[in-house]
Amino acid sequence: GQQVMQIPQYQHVQEGEDFTTYCNSSTTLSNIQWYKQRPGGHPVFLIQLVKSGEVKKQKRLTFQFGEAKKNSSLHITATQTTDVGTYFCAGPDSWGKFQFGAGTQVVVTP
C-alpha cells in the first residue's frame, strides 16, 4: 500500500534560520496537503497542492509539489517561535483514503 514518509522527524532551528522538511510518497498523489499541529492542539490545514511542480507561498512558508507528484517540501524562512509545532503532509491513496506522514516536529531556539 501507499506510504508517506517525512524527513526529518525532528528539526531544531535557531530563531531566524531557514529550514526545509520533506515528504515522499511511494505512489503518485492526486494532491498533497500540509497541516500544522501546535503542541497540545489539533491539526490545522495549511495548504493544498494539486499540479505537478506547483509552488505556493504563505508569508514565510513555501510549499512545493514535485514534478512526478510523489514528493513535496515545506521551506520556512526566518524561523520564528510561532513556527513551533509538528508539520504533517498527507495525500489520498487510490481509494481516496488519506495517508499522513509521521510529521516533522519543529523546535525553535530563541
Partner 1 sequence: DAGITQSPRHKVTETGTPVTLRCHQTENHRYMYWYRQDPGHGLRLIHYSYGVKDTDKGEVSDGYSVSRSKTEDFLLTLESATSSQTSVYFCAISEGELRSSYEQYFGPGTRLTVT
* Residue 98 near partner 1 by CB under 8 A: yes
C-alpha cell at 90: 498527507
Q: Which stretch binds partner 1 (CB under 8 A): 15-23, 55-63, 70-78, 84-92?
A: 84-92
Write the single-letter amino acid at 61. Answer: L
Q: Is residue 43 near partner 1 by the rule CB under 8 A?
A: yes
Distance CA 110, CA 107 (A): 10
Indicate the residue among 14 and 98 with the shorter CB distance to partner 1: 98
Cβ-based neighbour number of residue 86 at 10 Å: 20
Report, in Å, the least distance between residue 108 CB and partner 1.
20
State yes or no: residue 42 binds partner 1 (CB under 8 A). yes
Residues 6+ apart with CB under 8 A from 15: 79, 80, 81, 108, 109, 110
90 is a site residue for partner 1 (CB under 8 A): yes
Task: State the SS3 of 15-30.
Answer: CCCCEEEEEEECCCCC
Partnered with residue 10 across adjacent β-strands are 105
50 binds partner 1 (CB under 8 A): yes
Q: Is 107 in the site for partner 1 (CB under 8 A)?
A: no
Binding site for partner 1 (CB under 8 A): 1, 6, 9, 30-31, 33, 35, 41-45, 48, 50, 88, 90, 92, 96-103
